[in-house]
Structure 1
Amino acid sequence: MAPTLPTPAHNKEIAQTFLDIFSTGNVNAILDCLHEDATWWISGKIAGISGTYSKSEIGELLAGVTSAYKQGALPVRVLGMTAEEDRVAIEAESYAELHNGKIFNNEYHFLITVSDEKVTQVREYSDTLHIYETFVNTQD
């Protein structure tokens, strides 16, 4: 008997669980959700933020940024999800207060690819000007 392939609904569950764990700020648990060869691409042209990251590189980025949040995490709330084959498209938003007094409240479109019960690719589209003004530009 041939193995049963994951359904789009199952891949949505994996993506939702991944974002739930991401929202805890637990970097090791986040990395456990990623396939060993996973990549995470962040849109824009912001030095030190935009670009493609390997699993270990995204771990380093997340470890550095979670300390900026008062609650130690960036909660991400899923607004909608659509899945086809191994891809899950997600509309989401985040909200967190930062130690620098700023509020990070961003909107996202994530395209998450799933294989072998793990996230293999994240493509993150968001308001890069808001990211820059919140994390990079230290002037008010």
Structure 2
Amino acid sequence: MGSEASIQTVKAFFAAIGDGDRDGLLALVAEDSEWIIPGEGWPLAGTHRGHAGIANVQRMAAEELETTYPRPPEIIALADRVFVVGIATGKIKATGRSFNDEWVFDITVHDGKVTRIQEYIDTQALALASRKTNQA
């Protein structure tokens, strides 16, 4: 699969997330996919596997976060690897605390399906926003 086809798959993946289109999202994800979100102390951290894991992390994101993207992300591709660079702002619903997260997604695409996502994010900003006010 060429770089342009991989970019189109990733753009469709992000559009499905933005539209809340669970079925469209899962149609773009391999059954044995893996989504790695680093960190501890915030709701989405962990490794999410397969369709069930991807659907669950998207459900949790909708329930736990209010997120906006102040500008479109930059997309760079090399064959089946696509790097998406962006900024997210928002708040953790449970705490009402805001965050500013500069991030990079390293996404692998095989045969038109997303097979792996490794996020590089500001884990400290997200953990701090997730911390209850009575925690040290």
Give the distance between the partners of 1:98 and 1:47, measured in 2 at CA. 9
In the alignment, which of 111, 120, 124 is matched to residue 115 of structure 2? 120
Query: Which residue identity is paired with 2:34?
Result: T
Q: Which amino acid aligns with 1:128?
A: T
- 1:24 alignment partner in structure 2: 19
Q: Structure 1: where are the runs of 5+ without partners?
A: 1-5
Identity %: 24
How far apart, CA to CA, are the structure 1 residues paired with 2:3 and 2:93? 39
**Aligned partner (choices 60, 64, 70) of residue 68 of structure 1:** 64
TM-score (norm 2): 0.79
Retained in 1: the 8 A contact 2:34–2:116? yes
Superposition deviation, residue 45 in structure 1:
4.1
CA distance in 2, matches of 1:11, 1:114: 6
1:33 is aligned to 28
TM-score by length of 1: 0.77
Unaligned stretches of 5+ residues in structure 2: none
In structure 2, the residue matched to 1:139 is 133
Match of residue 58, structure 1, among 54, 59, 67? 54
